[in-house]
Amino acid sequence: MRGAVAAALLALALPAQADPLRVATFNAELSRDGPGLLLRDLQRGTDPQIAAVAAVIAAVAPDILALQNLDWDHDGMALAALAAQLKAAGLDYPYRFAAQPNSGLASDLDLDGDGRLGGPGDAQGYGEFTGQGGMAVLSRHPILAGEVRDLGGLLWRDLPGALLPEHPDGTPFTSVAAQAIQRLSSAGHWIVPIDVPGIGVVELLTFHAGPPVFDGPEDRNGRRNHDEIALWQAVLDGGFGPAPERRFVIAGDANLDPFDSDGRREAIRALLTDPRLQDPAPVSAGGAQAEDQGHAGPNARDTADWGDRPGRMRVDYVLPSRDWRVVGSGVHWPAPGEAGHDEAVTASRHRLVWADLALR
């Protein structure tokens, strides 16, 4: 009896242990062909893809969710409408953040080298209109919006060791003037502090890199994708303000597989093996049971399915800092016939990736 009393008193004296924090990333492909169309589809409530996206998020129920490919509008109406739909499904995200992305941000120059002006490739990040395919953060815990660091305005040439593209004669591609205004981020790179009860301030480092293809021999997109990923290591080195040192998570769409992408795979390999980070290496039953495609990477770790070409790849990542204890992780891709499979494949070509984190 005395032992039980002593144990109870000891438990009261110890600090309470916070529940694991579930952090997720999801390229939901909630982008439409024109401004306002996503908000229209959200408000109508009849779009099967949007319903599937909501079902996927509700099934995983992350505490912090980094979203990619969500059309941005100045007043945040589309994001608020999505949050309302999630709340109706029982998932409340009272805290939201979305800055204007580089995608669709017009320039007055030929940035993609097609000889024409005003096309989607001449925007700072590919887009038919301002904000197409932007990013957002949804959180159950307070976002310290006034302390967000938005690196989206960083010029590509200002990244140390930038792999800037060149013409065959060694001159800047597409021009000196273009490189003088070209931003590095296709959509954005944000450092978002979130105040989590029982844990403290958690910094979410989120991004959506452009694909390393759809260019010419100058490899503009491949070089840019490489440098968008490499930026995080420069940030951790302290190159762009105070370096995050503890309780941070990189979460986003790198658009690069460490084994099978056509891009410069050394970029994502370097990030995955950075000693300041850990790779939970999440898996799914859906990926594991998919038909083998002859890729070098494990099928179970794939996070996106683009059909026959280029097939399935691992391009979406949640990478916690070393001071976290990873207590669980996964790619939300149920096997055929399992609950949630149809919603996962209807929602997006990408799958939601998550990790459960606890303090050491």
Q: Which ranges of the chain does DSSP label H, i.e. alpha helix?
A: 2-13, 37-44, 48-60, 77-88, 176-181, 220-236, 266-272, 285-289, 341-347
Residue 345 is given by DSSP the state H
* pLDDT mean over 137-147: 98
Share of the chain above pLDDT 90, in %: 94
What pLDDT score was predicted for residue 13? 37
| 153-180 core/surface letters (b: 16 or more CB in 10 A; e: else) | ebebeebeebbbbeeeeeebbbeeebbe
Residue 148 scores a pLDDT above 90? yes
* pLDDT mean over 67-89: 97
**Cis peptide leading into residue 174 (ω within 30°):** yes
* pLDDT mean over 192-211: 98
- Across all residues in the chain, what is the average pLDDT? 95
Residue 93 scores a pLDDT above 80? yes
User: For the segment 151-171, what is each residue's pLDDT rounded down to a tens digit?
Assistant: 999 999 999 999 999 999 999
Q: What is the pTM (predicted TM-score) of this model?
A: 0.94
pLDDT classification of 17: cutoffs 50, 70, 90? low
pLDDT classification of 11: cutoffs 50, 70, 90? very low
Residue 18 scores a pLDDT above 80? no
Task: For the domain made up of 20-359, give the CATH fold.
Answer: Deoxyribonuclease I; Chain A (3.60.10)
Residue 102 scores a pLDDT above 60? yes
| Integer CA distances (angstroms), 282 to 31, 66, 220, 311, 330, in order | 26, 17, 31, 19, 4
What pLDDT score was predicted for residue 309? 84
What pLDDT score was predicted for residue 5? 43
Amino acid letter, residue 194: I
User: For the segment 274-295, what is each residue's pLDDT rounded down to a tens digit?
Assistant: 999 999 999 999 999 999 999 9
**Distance (Å, rounded) from C-alpha 347 to C-alpha 300?**
19
Share of the chain above pLDDT 70, in %: 95
pLDDT classification of 21: cutoffs 50, 70, 90? very high
What pLDDT score was predicted for residue 308? 85
